[in-house]
Amino acid sequence: MRFRKAPKRYGHHYLPVSFFIFIIILHFFGAVFSRAEENSDYASSLIRRADELALYNHEAWRALVHYKETLFGTKSLIDDPKFFLSPEGKRNPKAELHATIRAILSSPHPGEKHPVCRFSARFQWLKEMLAFDESKLPVKGCTEIELLINRIAPKSATLVFPASHINSPASMFGHTLLSIETANRSKLLAHAIDYAANTNDTFGPAYAFKGIFGFYHGYFNNQPYYAKIQQYNDFDQRDLWEYRLNFTEGEVRKMMYHIFELDFIYSDYYFFDENCSYNILFLLDVARPSLKLTDTFYTKIPTWVIPVDTIRAIDRKGLVESVECRPSRVSTIRHLGGLLSAEAKKLARDITHGKKGPEALLESTLTPEEKSRVGDLITEHIRYRYSREDISKEEYSALLIRALATRSKIESAVGSPKVPLPERPDFGHYSARAFLGFGILDTSPFQEVRLRPSYHTLLDADEGYIEGGQIVFTDFVFRFYDIEKRVELERWHFIDIVSLTPNDPFIHSISWKITTGLRRMWTLCDERPLTAFLNPGGGYAWKTPFGIMYGMIETELLAGKALEHGLNWGAGISLGILSPSMRACKIHINARDIYFAFDQRQHETSAGAGFRISITRNFNFMIEGKYISAQTSDFAHHTGMFDGTAGFNVYF
């Protein structure tokens, strides 16, 4: 007997499976839509509350999104579109705040980082200000960020200032970065946070042009602090100044949240204002919004931001708890060399230059103390040569082992000497300078006004600056002649840089200069036309008991309508002596002779001196005088004049 299947019955007693699936899906989407509507209502209520509190104008919100007031309204100094949740976010703090609240209440999407994780600092602040109901948050926090911060365990913050490095266009004013010390590791393993332009350019003029006009993207970077010490102390020969800040652990934690927000986010980098030091201030403002440090350098229009000025601003806010200095390897070598006798210097030089092995130190007749000094010096010098890639890694390892073995066999009651610390950079004179004085040009009296936004000249007091270094940008000099009743632009130095780095038996350096802008040239016709010029030069300097003596070979390119061919080119020499660095006074004596190829093959010769006496740190009296002459190559025709000024400098 065969059995047939019973027929399907479609009544209220038997329902198909597809019907149950339909009901489940409908219920699911109903719940989703209900939840979305509930979140939307909650977001709207939070937005109303935020508007009542005017959080879009709160100093903390403006710091978190880097908002500044400009001549054309509010804008964020962040330029990366990824940083904004609203299409209007760059220029509309209110729209960005509303978009952030809605994003926090949005449902997560698979494969995408939720805004709570992308903008953890914003989330933490809004959570505090609006007292979120966590039961209504689709994402209650960012486990990934919390685990990372807990593993780092940020405890304190130190602002680090690598001293200015005049031979590097990117660092001639110095640099600042932030060291985040942790509760679990040594100071060397702290996190070094800095902001820098992303560039591979090595051609100086191209770097300067792009950096000045904002063609680079700047990013925040996080590296181990020991790597920065190696970079600045060893490779760049720069002292490191560490300013420990009095932030609490909670405030440092806020910094870390914001640093994670800025990962892979760029801003346009500007060498003079939106630079490394200025952007670091945003991290401090986020940690403690009441500081408003970024407002110090940006009110409607940006002003010059020189790294050492940001340190002064931080100190004025009472943030600096203590200060320490890490001398560079070059500072250590120069100090050790200065402690040696002539015989010890010769032996150290022979060993460091490979004429003798380190073992020769043991056989010398030097005292145990001098032997220990020489031992310290040669080990430091071997490390210095390796950092400059003068020797291979294999040579370095072999030499260093021999030197350390030799040093260990020398008995001395005297330990390694401490390098004397220079004056703190923030204790030097202020960066901008104005001059008001009087003078005489041949027989014509005049009053003179100078204005220099930055930074330091050879005649300025060296405390806090590099001895023998001059960095000047946009120095304007105007004169009013009493008899002729006329005002003239005497000169405009757009760039005026001089590096007088003394040579010694252990450190060899080239001194150099570059000046460009407008200046008045003395001619055989007793005229002084204003001409554009470019004046580079290079040579050597030596430290003597009388100061730094130097000599350079110079060239000069002139351009102007007053010139016979519109252009002129010359070459010659310059000599000078700069008195030892003294707080109270300083003297600079110099002479120059340039032979030009055109315009009757004219010589331009000058000899002069400058004297400065300080009254206070930021106020001094200065006298400058020089004799300028022009003559033909055969000296058949000659004319000359004296140009002297005296007056007061005010630094601000």
pLDDT digits (tens, 9 = 90+) for 155-170: 999 999 998 877 665 6
User: Would you give the distance in Å from CA 84 to the centre of its chain?
Assistant: 27
> What's the token pair of residue 96?
């960005």
Q: In the chain, what are the domains?
A: 39-139 (no CATH), 150-326 (no CATH), 329-408 (no CATH), 428-651 (2.40.160.40)
User: Would you give the distance in Å from CA 98 to the centre of its chain?
Assistant: 36
What's the mean pLDDT in 22-36?
Answer: 47
The Cβ-side half-sphere exposure at 263, using a 13 Å CA radius, reads 14
Q: Is it the case that residue 450 has pLDDT exceeding 70? A: yes
**Residues with Cβ < 8 Å from 12, sequence gap 6 or more?**
none
Q: Is it the case that residue 38 has pLDDT exceeding 70? A: no
What's the mean pLDDT in 67-75?
Answer: 95
User: Lowest-confidence range among 21-25, 251-255, 277-281?
Assistant: 21-25
- Give the model confidence (pLDDT) of 323-352 as tens digits: 999 999 999 999 999 999 999 999 999 998
Contact indicator for 432, 450 with CB cutoff of 8 Å: no
Looking at residue 2, its pLDDT comes to 39
Q: How far apart are CA 458 and CA 472, in angstroms?
A: 10
User: Lowest-confidence range among 221-225, 227-231, 523-527, 622-626?
Assistant: 523-527
Neighbours of 492 (CB within 10 A): 16
pLDDT band at 172 (very low <50, low <70, confident <90, very high): confident
Contact indicator for 568, 596 with CB cutoff of 8 Å: yes
Looking at residue 37, its pLDDT comes to 58
- DSSP symbol at 263: T
Q: What is the dihedral of CA 294, 300, 302, 304, to 10 degrees?
A: -80
CA-to-CA dists, residue 289 to 255, 276, 294, 319, angstroms = 11, 20, 10, 13
What's the mean pLDDT in 503-526?
Answer: 90
> What's the token pair of residue 436?
């008001």
**Residues with Cβ < 8 Å from 67, sequence gap 6 or more?**
61, 74, 75, 76, 77, 93
What's the mean pLDDT in 364-372?
Answer: 91
Mean residue pLDDT across the chain: 90
Q: How far apart are CA 646 and CA 70, in angstroms?
A: 40
Looking at residue 16, its pLDDT comes to 56
For residue 13, with 0-12 CB atoms within 10 Å meaning exposed, 13-18 middle and 19 or more buried, which class applies? exposed
- Give the model confidence (pLDDT) of 534-593 as tens digits: 999 999 999 999 999 999 999 999 999 888 888 999 999 999 999 998 889 999 999 999
**Residues with Cβ < 8 Å from 241, sequence gap 6 or more?**
160, 161, 162, 163, 323, 324, 325, 424, 425
- Among the residues of 418-519, which ranges form H helices? none
Q: How far apart are CA 310 and CA 287, in angstroms?
A: 16
pLDDT band at 26 (very low <50, low <70, confident <90, very high): very low
Angle between helices 276-287 and 307-316 (to 10 degrees): 20
pLDDT band at 21 (very low <50, low <70, confident <90, very high): low
Single-letter residue type at 220: F
Phi, psi of 313 (to 5 degrees): -65, -40
pLDDT band at 418 (very low <50, low <70, confident <90, very high): confident
